[in-house]
C-alpha cells in the first residue's frame, strides 16, 4: 500500500503539522490502496504564506518564462503517462483504456491547449481602436485556492492549475481526499519542472477542516471549486467575508430526452453514457425522459442492455 502522507509546500515535500491519516479506497476492490494525511489549519496557513511570498516575483514573471516551464512540464507529463493512468485506475476504478485515453489524455490535451493559448495571449493591449493612449492590462489575481473533485481528477486539476500558472498566479491545490494520487504525481512533475518555490502547493484534506481553512484564509485572493452545491454555498459564504473572487462549477446530472423518431441506438447510447467512467461523471444522463408512446419499449431495451453490460477488473484492457 502506498504511503503518501506528505504535502508539497514551498518547493518541498513536508510532513503534516498534525498527522491525520485516512485510507484511499480503490472502489473496484473496496480495499485501501494508499494512506494520506488530512491537512490542518496550520498546514493550510503554511501553504498560503508560501504562495503569497512566491507571488511577489512569480506575478511579475514574463510570458516567455511561463511558456518555457509549461512546455517542460508537458514533456515530463507525457513521460509519466502510465503512472498517472495507474493512479487513476486505483483511486477511482476507471477502466484501463478509459483512464489512459480520456482521463490522463485530457490532462495532456488541456495543458497543450493552454500553452498554445498563452503564446497567443496579450497581457497588455490598446483599450480600443480609438483609444491610443489607453491600455488594457491583464494582471494575475494572486493566491488561488484550487479545489477539485474525485470523478475526473487529473482533468479538473489541469483545468485549474495550468491556467493559474500561465496567468502568473500562485496556488494551493486541494484535490479530493477520495482521489488524491494523480494530483500528487502532478506535484512531482511541478517539482521536476523546477517551478519557483511556493508557486504551486498541494495540501490534501477534507472540506470541513482543510477546505474551510483554505477558503476562509484572508490571504487567498481567489477560489476555484468544482463539486457539490452544498459545498459551493459554504465556500461562497467564506469568500463573501473579504470579497474573494469565486469560480464555481457545481454538480448536477442532465436529463436525456428521447422521442419516437430518435435514431435506433439512442436508448442504448444513453445507458452507456451513464456507465462510462464507472458511472462517475457529473454530466451522466441518468434521467431518461421518453415519449409516452415508446415508454414500454424503452424499459425493455434498457433492461436488455444493462443485463448484458459487462463489468470487470478495471486493470484489464477495455
Question: Of 53, 268, 282, 291, which one is the catalytic site residue?
Answer: 282
Extended strands (E) in 101-221: 124-126, 135-137, 143-147, 170-174, 200-202
Q: Is 38 exposed, middle or buried (0-12, 13-18, 19+ CB in 10 A)?
A: buried
The SS3 call for residue 164 is helix
Q: Kindly write down the DSSP assignment for every residue of 209-258, as one continuous string.
A: IIIHHHHT-TT--EEEEEE-HHHHHHHHHHHHTTT-EEEEEE--PPEEEE
Contact in structure between 170 and 144 (CB atoms under 8 Å) = yes
Q: Which among 243, 153, 196 has a CA at the least distance from the CA of 11? A: 196
Establish whether 274 is a catalytic residue: no
Across 48-60, b (16+ Cβ under 10 Å) vs e yields bbbbbebbeebbe
Q: CB within 8 A of 194, min separation 6: which ones?
A: 69, 72
Q: Which residues contact 57 (CB under 8 A, 6 or more apart)?
A: 196
Beta bridge partners of 257: 289
In the set 53, 71, 188, 249, the catalytic residue is: 249
**Pairing state between β 2-4 and 31-37:** parallel
Which residues, at least 6 apart from 138, have a Cβ–Cβ distance to it below 8 Å? 121, 123, 124, 167
Phi, psi dihedrals of residue 253, rounded to the nearest 5°: -100, 140
Please identify every residue annotated as catalytic: 249, 282
Amino acid at each position: 500500500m502506498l504511503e503518501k502522507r506528505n504535502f508539497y509546500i514551498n518547493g518541498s515535500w513536508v510532513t503534516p503539522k498534525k498527522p491525520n491519516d485516512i485510507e484511499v479506497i480503490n472502489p473496484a476492490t473496496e480495499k485501501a490502496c494508499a494512506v494520506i494525511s488530512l491537512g490542518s489549519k496550520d498546514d493550510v496557513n503554511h501553504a498560503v504564506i508560501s504562495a503569497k511570498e512566491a507571488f511577489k516575483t512569480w506575478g511579475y514573471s514574463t510570458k516567455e518564462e511561463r511558456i518555457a516551464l509549461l512546455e517542460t512540464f508537458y514533456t515530463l507529463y507525457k513521460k509519466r503517462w502510465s503512472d498517472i493512468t495507474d493512479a487513476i485506475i486505483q483511486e477511482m476504478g476507471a477502466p484501463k483504456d478509459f483512464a489512459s485515453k480520456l482521463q490522463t489524455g485530457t490532462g495532456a490535451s488541456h495543458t497543450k491547449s493552454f500553452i498554445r493559448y498563452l503564446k497567443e495571449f496579450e497581457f497588455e493591449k490598446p483599450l480600443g481602436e480609438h483609444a491610443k493612449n489607453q491600455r488594457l492590462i491583464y494582471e494575475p489575481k494572486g493566491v488561488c485556492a484550487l479545489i477539485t473533485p474525485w470523478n475526473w481528477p487529473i482533468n479538473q486539476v489541469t483545468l485549474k492549475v495550468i491556467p493559474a500558472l500561465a496567468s502568473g498566479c500562485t496556488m494551493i491545490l486541494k484535490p479530493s481526499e477520495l482521489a488524491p494520487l494523480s494530483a500528487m504525481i502532478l506535484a512531482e512533475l511541478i517539482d521536476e519542472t523546477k517551478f519557483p518555490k511556493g508557486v504551486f502547493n498541494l495540501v490534501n484534506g477534507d472540506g470541513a477542516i482543510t477546505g474551510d481553512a483554505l477558503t476562509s484564509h484572508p490571504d487567498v485572493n481567489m477560489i476555484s471549486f468544482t463539486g457539490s452545491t452544498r459545498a459551493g454555498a459554504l465556500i461562497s459564504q467564506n469568500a463573501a467575508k473579504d470579497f474573494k473572487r469565486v469560480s464555481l462549477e457545481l454538480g448536477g446530472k442532465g436529463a436525456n430526452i428521447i422521442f419516437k423518431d430518435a435514431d435506433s441506438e439512442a436508448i442504448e447510447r444513453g445507458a452507456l453514457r451513464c456507465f462510462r467512467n464507472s458511472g462517475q461523471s457529473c454530466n451522466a444522463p441518468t434521467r431518461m425522459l421518453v415519449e409516452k408512446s415508446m415508454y414500454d419499449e424503452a424499459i425493455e431495451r434498457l433492461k436488455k442492455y444493462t443485463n448484458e453490460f459487462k463489468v470487470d477488473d478495471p486493470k484489464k484492457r477495455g
